[in-house]
Amino acid sequence: MHTVWKGAISFGLVHVPVKMFSATEDKDISLRMIHRPCGSPISYVRSCPSCETEVEWDDIMKGYEYEKGRFVLFEKEELEQLSGEKSKTITIIDFVALSDIDPIYFQKTYFLSPDQAGGSAYQLLMEAMKQSGKIGIAKVSIRQKSSLAAIRVMGDCLAMETIFYPDEVRSPQQVPGLGEAKPVNEKELAMACMLIDQLSTPFEPDKYTDDYRTQLMDMIQHKIAGEDVRVAPQAEPSSVLDLMAALQASLEAARSGGASAAPPAVAVGPIPTASGDDSAAAAGAAKAPAAKRKSRAGKAAAAGDAAAAEATPAAAPALAAAGDGTAAPGAKPPRKPRAAKKAAQ
């Protein structure tokens, strides 16, 4: 792991030297922006629109726009003094119960390990937090940004999770379209609770996978191999018209194990480019199922005619008479062939 920060945890008069490591990593597949005509990657240049020239990092400072086009400027050293970046201290202010913090406050998790000769103090703090069942609420500055943080025990390691300040968390009352609470149908509520019970299971993070990332990587490998790739579109979910029927169907699927199964993956695979003989073969392959269906339909129709002839023996005299040019009573005259009709006209 790469060390992202060095400092100390401070609670009371005790200082615990620690090193910080990122506890999570971004697995998203990075895609570059490419210039379509030539295939070159797009580059971004720091430029000044007034001077019309590229700007070096040494010539850049930060500023706050308090009016349109008017800025107050800050040097890097001024901002470091405000943020306390040089102090490198995680200052624990309070100890609270983890259950008191809503998950909406959590941002990013870091692991903390003892640094230099801080092993004893590190172990002491961790054991004390284990026995008390509390977590520490602290203030810390990382990369010129001050943040609240929660210090807690994870296994045999201390972890720090940065958390939002209260004024950074929006209230659910600001969400549009909520309106007043509507009464709930008791039968639908009971069915929904049964469905939740059927789908309830211990949390096993290993069974959840990023289907999009897997499919994108498969597509990348196919394209590297020079193959065409076609993605089968997923069916759009239909709007629920009958809530009770949808709950019942979901409950039956959950009981049979269908609801717990993963949704069907988007079909991604190599599609050979059709050209020349390959195109004709593809067309023949497409026509083959249709020819088979027509053959089956013809056989079924012939079987139906034979059954009808056996079931109605009275029709035999009519057919015999039709062969002599006279129709039996109650029998319809036979249709003339198309060629005969045209000759008569």
**Largest Cα–Cα distance of the chain, in whole Å?**
122
Four-residue CA torsion sign, 272, 276, 277, 282: positive
281 or 24: which carries more pLDDT confidence?
A: 24
170 or 336: which carries more pLDDT confidence?
A: 170
* pLDDT, mean of residues 126-141: 94
Task: Provide the percentage of residues in the chain whose pLDDT is more than 70.
Answer: 69
**Residue 337 scores a pLDDT above 50:** no
Can you tell me the distance from the alpha carbon of 176 to that of 167, in angstroms, rounded to the nearest whole number? 19
pLDDT in tens, 150-191: 999 999 999 999 999 999 999 998 889 887 888 888 998 998
Tokens of 185: 């149908």
216 or 261: which carries more pLDDT confidence?
A: 216
The whole-angstrom distance between residue 209's C-alpha and the CA centroid of its chain comes to 9
- The reported pLDDT for the residue numbered 327 is 43
Can you tell me the distance from the alpha carbon of 271 to that of 306, in angstroms, rounded to the nearest whole number? 46
**Residue 132 scores a pLDDT above 90:** yes
pLDDT-derived band at 78, boundaries 50, 70, 90: confident
pLDDT-derived band at 123, boundaries 50, 70, 90: very high
- The reported pLDDT for the residue numbered 44 is 87
CB 84 within 8 A of CB 141: yes
- The reported pLDDT for the residue numbered 118 is 81
Tokens of 29: 């597949």
Sequence-ordered strand ranges (E) for 168-309 = 228-231, 268-271
Can you tell me the distance from the alpha carbon of 254 to that of 246, in angstroms, rounded to the nearest whole number? 12
- The reported pLDDT for the residue numbered 152 is 96
Using a 10 angstrom Cβ sphere, with 0-12 exposed, 13-18 middle and 19 or more buried, the burial of residue 94 is exposed
**Residue 102 scores a pLDDT above 90:** yes
CB 112 within 8 A of CB 160: yes
Tokens of 41: 């990657």
* pLDDT, mean of residues 205-234: 84
pLDDT-derived band at 243, boundaries 50, 70, 90: confident
pTM for this entry = 0.62
Three-state secondary structure string covering 72-102: EEECHHHHHHHHCCCCCEEEEEEEEEHHHCC
CB 146 within 8 A of CB 138: no
Using a 10 angstrom Cβ sphere, with 0-12 exposed, 13-18 middle and 19 or more buried, the burial of residue 246 is middle
pLDDT in tens, 262-300: 444 444 444 443 334 443 433 344 444 444 444 444 444
CB 135 within 8 A of CB 99: no
- The reported pLDDT for the residue numbered 279 is 38
**What CA dihedral angle connects 88, 93, 97 and 101, to 10 degrees?**
-70
Domains parsed from the chain with CATH numbers:
3-26+76-168 (2.40.290.10), 209-231+263-270 (no CATH)
* pLDDT, mean of residues 7-28: 91
- The reported pLDDT for the residue numbered 303 is 45
Task: Provide the percentage of residues in the chain whose pLDDT is more than 90.
Answer: 33
When mean pLDDT is compared across 45-49, 118-122, 146-150, 280-284, the lowest value belongs to: 280-284
